Amino acid sequence: MRDTVLIVLLIHPFITGISLQYFRCRTVHFPNSTEPTQYFLRSDFSIKCYDSTWWGLVALPLAVFGVFSVGMPIVVVAALYRRRDKLQEADTIERFGVVYFTYKHEYWYFEVVQMTFKAMLWVTLIFDYNAQLQ
């Protein structure tokens, strides 16, 4: 269980960023076209944003973002909140210690704050059109 929690903590920012890449579109101007302004996915210019194919696939990144990126911090804080009086017990330390053990006892929830902060950094990078992702 402890390894699973550690893996979730490590991949949470990455999966959040990947799920948000689907919403990072670039405006391309075609002056002599019937559609002078078109939008393409920055990560794959063969995918046109906001057309029927794009809208047909939008459910998957939204589900990943909703269930994993937003849901995981909620699950982690709920699991720790239920055990907040038992955080020093061996079973709780074995299962969830990696989440809270580096913080002071009264700040058991702070890893969730860190997860949320990292997710918000990705949101800022994705929706700040002047930002450059490498």
Residue 33 tokens, joined: 């076209």
Q: What is the pLDDT of residue 127?
A: 78
Place of tokens 């580096």: 102
Residue 134: is its pLDDT beyond 70? no
Is the CB of residue 13 less than 8 Å from the CB of residue 122? yes
Residue 7, Cβ density class (10 Å: 0-12 exposed, 13-18 middle, ≥19 buried): exposed
Q: What is the pLDDT of residue 42?
A: 87
Distant-in-sequence, close-in-space partners of 120: CB < 8 Å, separation ≥ 6: none
Q: Buried (b) or exposed (e) across 20-30, using 16+ Cβ within 10 A?
A: bbbbbbeeeee
Q: What's the length of the chain?
A: 134
Residue 101 tokens, joined: 């053990």
Task: Spell out the domain ranges in the chain.
Answer: 2-18+67-127, 23-57
Is the CB of residue 108 less than 8 Å from the CB of residue 84? yes
pLDDT bin (cut points 50, 70, 90) of residue 131 is low
Each residue's pLDDT tens digit, 35-54:
788 999 988 889 899 999 89
Q: What is the pLDDT of residue 62?
A: 94
Residue 132: is its pLDDT beyond 60? no
Q: What is the pLDDT of residue 101?
A: 86
Is the CB of residue 8 less than 8 Å from the CB of residue 43? no
Residue 83 tokens, joined: 């055990």
Phi and psi at residue 103, to the nearest 5°:
-105, 160
Each residue's pLDDT tens digit, 73-122:
999 999 899 988 998 999 888 888 888 888 888 899 999 999 999 988 88
